[in-house]
Amino acid sequence: MKPFFDVSKITPAVRETWRADELYVKVKGNPKYLFALMDDETRFWIAQQISDSKGTSDVRPMLKNGVEYTGKKPHVLITDGAHNFSRAFKKEYQTNRTASPIHIRDIALDGERHNNKMERMNGEVRDREKVMRGLKREDSPILKGIQIYHNFIREHEGLDGKTPAEASGIIVEGSNKWQTIIQNASKLKEAQNN
Query: Is residue 1 a part of any domain in this protein?
Result: no
Confidence of residue 51 (pLDDT cuts 50, 70, 90): very high
pLDDT at residue 38 is higher than 80:
yes
Tell me what pLDDT residue 3 has: 45
Residue numbers of the domain that contains 73 = 7-193
Please give the average per-residue pLDDT across 52-57, as a whole number.
87
Tell me what pLDDT residue 179 has: 85
CATH of the domain at 159: 3.30.420.10
pLDDT tens per residue across span 106-128:
666 555 556 778 888 887 887 77
Query: Is residue 35 a part of any domain in this protein?
Result: yes
113/12: higher pLDDT: 12
Q: What is the mean pLDDT of the chain?
A: 84
Q: What's the rounded Cα separation, in Å, for the pair 5 and 105? A: 37
Biggest distance spanned by C-alpha atoms of the chain: 56
Calculate what percentage of the chain has a pLDDT beyond 70: 84
- Overall residue count recorded for the chain in this entry: 194
Domain count, the chain: 1
Query: Is residue 13 a part of any domain in this protein?
Result: yes
Per DSSP, the three-state class of 83 is: helix
Long-range contacts of residues 95-100, Cβ cutoff 8 Å, at least 24 apart: 98/73, 99/75
Tell me what pLDDT residue 173 has: 84
Calculate what percentage of the chain has a pLDDT beyond 90: 40
Query: Is residue 2 a part of any domain in this protein?
Result: no
Q: Alpha helix (H) ranges present in the chain?
A: 60-70, 83-92, 116-132, 141-148, 164-167, 177-193
pLDDT tens per residue across span 143-192:
888 999 999 999 999 999 999 999 999 888 888 888 888 777 776 666 66
Query: Is residue 106 a part of any domain in this protein?
Result: yes
Closest to 143 (Cα-Cα) out of 45, 55, 14 = 45
For the whole model, what pTM was predicted? 0.84
Q: What's the rounded Cα separation, in Å, for the pair 63 and 60? A: 5
